[in-house]
Amino acid sequence: MHAVEFKDIVAASERIRSAIQRTPVLTSSAINAQLGFEVYFKCENFQRVGAFKMRGAYNALSHFDPDARKRGVVTASSGNHAQAIACSARLLEMPAKVVMPFDAPAMKISATRGYGAEVIFYDRYTQDRDAICNEISASNGMTVIPPFDHPDVIAGQGTAAMELLEEVPDLDAICAPLGGGGLLSGTAIAAKQMQSTIRVYGCEPLAGNDGQQSFRTGEIVRIDTPKTIADGAQTQALGALTFPIIRALVDDVLAVDDVTLIRAMQCHAERMKLWVEPTGCLGLGALLSHTLNLPKNAKVGVIISGGNVDAARFSSLIQSLS
């Protein structure tokens, strides 16, 4: 039995319903023709705070008892989880502190502060963010909610795939971005329960393919902080909770290089008029760069994880292709 079951995802869906958006599922005939699949994009770039992370954050914080709410929450994140915790804490009227790297995207730092959280900076290449969170928790009693390795976070993230399969129940495969594994593990639990023959693919940056290495060796592989444009997937290792779920339920983990991610960003923008951050392009990037063992015109779901990239960054990445 895993740390999270499908019933937990169903319960999370009810718990977070009033706080999140039920995001649209969109298609593109041009992308379908290019790939030879029917691709259904679950657009979490339209989610509250601009990313799927709102689902897990609100689900986790909504479990707090009155005393824990009074003391507040602390977390560490490169951006989207930070915003989600800050927004959820504001909605639930509790204090929040967020440990963020100095080089996190400026718009994510600004948004996190805008929701009322206190931001504490660290160097992601030399400092241990978890140790900083634990020190804060020990000093003032705040509850630590990690960005992915927590049952309530995983259950919340799984609601995105649940919604996708409610709309398109006969998917042959589903692709989800992979950083620490919260989204992918929740996706796998929901998908395998709702469509037993579905194939589940994790998609991660090539420069940070610890998940792929872990999946293929059967044990958690830890790497140095990867240097990739996919800032939402700059994790060093899968979690103690997420890895067993991924190992048991995921069919394969695919790695995507940064140039392909930029091409996927451009494709989303030009073909679908969607503003998607690099991490959110991992699913389409995987489809553009890998040959999946699926029949022609197979139905493939893709979770677009978020759209939090500023205009200057978006423009410079697209221009780098020319």
**If you average pLDDT over residues 119-129, what whole number do you get?**
90
Q: What is the pLDDT of residue 20?
A: 98
Q: Which of 50, 158, 181, 208 is catalytic?
A: 208
Q: What is the pLDDT of residue 106?
A: 84
User: What phi and psi values does residue 202 have, to the nearest 5 degrees?
Assistant: -90, 145
Does the pLDDT value for residue 78 go beyond 80? no
Q: Is 196 a catalytic residue?
A: no
Q: Is 204 a catalytic residue?
A: yes
Cα separation of 129 and 20, whole Å? 28
Q: Which two tokens stand for residue 87?
A: 């927004």
Q: Classify strands 96-101 and 73-76 as parallel, antiparallel or unpaired.
A: parallel
Residue with tokens 């999370």: 12
* 154-200 residue pLDDT tens: 999 999 999 999 999 999 999 999 999 999 999 999 999 999 999 99
Q: Is 8 a catalytic residue?
A: no
Q: Which of 8, 44, 172, 210 is catalytic?
A: 210
**If you average pLDDT over residues 26-36, what whole number do you get?**
98
Q: Is 208 a catalytic residue?
A: yes
Q: Is 231 a catalytic residue?
A: no
Name the CATH architecture for the domain at 54-144. Answer: 3-Layer(aba) Sandwich (3.40)
Q: What is the pLDDT of residue 104?
A: 82
Question: Do 15 and 62 meet the contact criterion of CB atoms below 8 Å apart?
Answer: yes
Residue 302 C-alpha from the chain's centroid: 12
Does the pLDDT value for residue 3 go beyond 90? no
Q: Which of 13, 77, 214, 305 is catalytic?
A: 305
Q: Is 305 a catalytic residue?
A: yes
Most confident of 106-110, 257-261, 318-322: 257-261
Q: How far is CA 119 from CA 74, 85, 105, 122, in A?
A: 10, 12, 13, 10
**If you average pLDDT over residues 288-316, what whole number do you get?**
95
Q: What is the pLDDT of residue 108?
A: 83
Does the pLDDT value for residue 231 go beyond 80? yes
Q: Is 3.40.50.1100 the CATH number for 6-51+150-319? A: yes
Q: Which two tokens stand for residue 249?
A: 């339920």
Question: Range(s) for CATH 3.40.50.1100 in the chain?
Answer: 6-51+150-319, 54-144
Q: Which residues pair with 30 in a beta bridge?
A: none
